[in-house]
């Protein structure tokens, strides 16, 4: 190779490298999803609640003991049924109990909020039993309520026996079910607040103690917002967690793991590489024709979100279903049609297309006016 040809080759290489760099800086290179991680947990699910997307699954439907992640169900029922400031007296039926405790004694008084603090941060089995007895009168009766609520949430591979997660009978759930439960817990503001707290005060009568959250993921990931750890010799290490990043929340549930902190961090790196938030197209029709109305059009509106969560590379489109016209009268809020928000090949959201205003019916002429009009038309025809 002569000198001039060598310089040409070098120049071409430099131009190619510079072009690739500019494309990367300007966003011209597509995002490449991470590879699915290898994890220690026997079962796992990565779930995006808003879209319903399951981004990763490993043996997701096998029921396994879930230890203290069970307390998410106990907390959910308490948040849905009880006043956080209601005062509860610890009954003898709730104590004693094995495993982790906050140190309650029979006759202690504390609020529901304090019980939830001890339940979610310190994983108190005594607080779980107190809440269960307070809500249902006994632990077996509360288990029935837990299973009823699980069915309502679509948890099809679960059996709740204890409010604390202690192994008893067939107490178990699948990773998919626990991800659904975690998403439901995040919808309760008080529970979301407590699950995200690294520390929180708890009052037992006149005593005040400060509890630390067992969930170390709150320190390992700054955008972690919960949720609950669990461990027994039978269940292994269990964890239901949530991370909110770039306006997207993912819930990860793992059962029977060894290194569950690294499992979850790897699953979040993978899960967030697969999803993006995209704007919903602004392509709705402004109005619909009205027949027999005082005006010929009625304005339309639809309660669509500004943006939606999709897989990377999916298109967001709107499909409008609207009749050629509607009959007057039309009242504001009347359903005129519907809008389907489609992500890729699936319908993600369906909302009604409604009238934004009202259109009165055009007044009908009085009977004598109709007769007079007909007579005049007949007379005019005869004169012609």
pTM: 0.83
pLDDT band at 9 (very low <50, low <70, confident <90, very high): very low
Establish whether 212 is a catalytic residue.
no
Most distant CA pair in the chain, distance: 107
pLDDT of residue 366: 64
- Which residues have C-beta within 8 Å of that of residue 17, sequence separation ≥ 6? none
Q: What is the mean pLDDT of residues 54-65?
A: 98
Question: Given a cut of 60, is residue 269 above it in pLDDT?
Answer: yes
Q: Which of 41, 43, 68, 235 is catalytic?
A: 68
Write down the domain spans for the chain: 43-273, 287-355
Q: What percent of the chain has pLDDT over 90?
A: 83
Q: Which pLDDT score is estimated for 10?
A: 44
CB atoms near residue 291 (< 10 Å): 13
Are the C-beta atoms of 232 and 167 separated by less than 8 Å? yes
Specify whether domain 287-355 bears CATH 1.10.645.10.
no
pLDDT in the model for residue 381: 72
Q: Which of 43, 71, 100, 241 is catalytic?
A: 71
Annotation marks residue 123 as catalytic: yes
pLDDT for the residue 365: 65
CATH of 43-273, one of 3.40.710.10, 1.10.3720.10, 3.40.50.620, 3.40.50.720: 3.40.710.10
Distance CA 122, CA 198 (A): 11
Q: Which of 123, 164, 172, 241 is catalytic?
A: 123
Indicate the pLDDT class of residue 281, thresholds 50, 70 and 90.
very high
Mean predicted lDDT score pLDDT of the chain? 90
């Amino acid at each position: 190779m002569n000198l001039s040809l060598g310089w040409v080759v070098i120049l071409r290489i430099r131009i190619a490298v510079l072009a690739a760099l500019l494309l990367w800086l300007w966003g011209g290179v597509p995002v490449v999803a991470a590879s699915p991680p290898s994890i220690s947990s026997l079962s796992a699910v990565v779930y995006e609640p808003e879209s319903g997307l399951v981004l990763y699954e490993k043996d997701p439907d096998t029921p396994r003991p879930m230890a203290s992640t069970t307390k998410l169900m106990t907390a959910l029922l308490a948040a849905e049924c009880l006043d956080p400031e209601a005062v509860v007296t610890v009954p003898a039926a709730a104590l004693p109990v094995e495993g982790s405790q906050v140190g309650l004694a029979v006759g202690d008084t504390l609020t529901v909020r304090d019980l939830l603090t001890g339940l979610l941060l310190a994983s108190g089995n005594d607080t779980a039993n107190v809440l269960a007895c307070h809500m249902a009168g006994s632990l077996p009766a509360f288990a029935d309520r837990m299973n009823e609520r699980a069915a309502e949430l679509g948890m099809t591979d679960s059996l709740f026996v204890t409010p604390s997660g202690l192994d008893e009978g067939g107490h178990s759930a699948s990773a998919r079910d626990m991800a659904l439960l975690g998403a439901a817990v995040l919808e309760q503001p008080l529970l979301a607040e407590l699950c995200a707290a690294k520390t929180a005060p708890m009052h037992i009568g006149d005593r005040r103690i400060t509890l630390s959250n067992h969930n170390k993921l709150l320190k390992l990931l700054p955008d972690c917002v919960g949720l609950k750890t669990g461990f027994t010799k039978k269940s292994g290490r269990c964890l239901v967690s949530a991370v909110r990043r770039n306006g997207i929340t993912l819930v990860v549930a793992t059962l029977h793991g060894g290194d569950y902190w690294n499992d979850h961090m790897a699953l979040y790196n993978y899960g967030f590489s697969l999803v993006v938030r995209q704007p919903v197209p602004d392509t709705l029709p402004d109005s619909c024709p009205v027949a027999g109305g005082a005006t010929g059009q009625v304005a339309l509106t639809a309660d669509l979100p500004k943006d939606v969560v999709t897989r990377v590379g999916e298109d967001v489109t709107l499909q409008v279903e609207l009749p050629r016209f509607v009959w007057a009268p039309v009242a504001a809020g009347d359903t005129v049609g519907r809008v389907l928000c489609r992500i890729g090949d699936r319908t993600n959201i369906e909302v009604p297309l409604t009238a934004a205003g009202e259109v009165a019916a055009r007044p009908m002429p009085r009977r004598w006016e109709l007769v007079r009009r007909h007579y005049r038309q007949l007379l005019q025809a005869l004169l012609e």
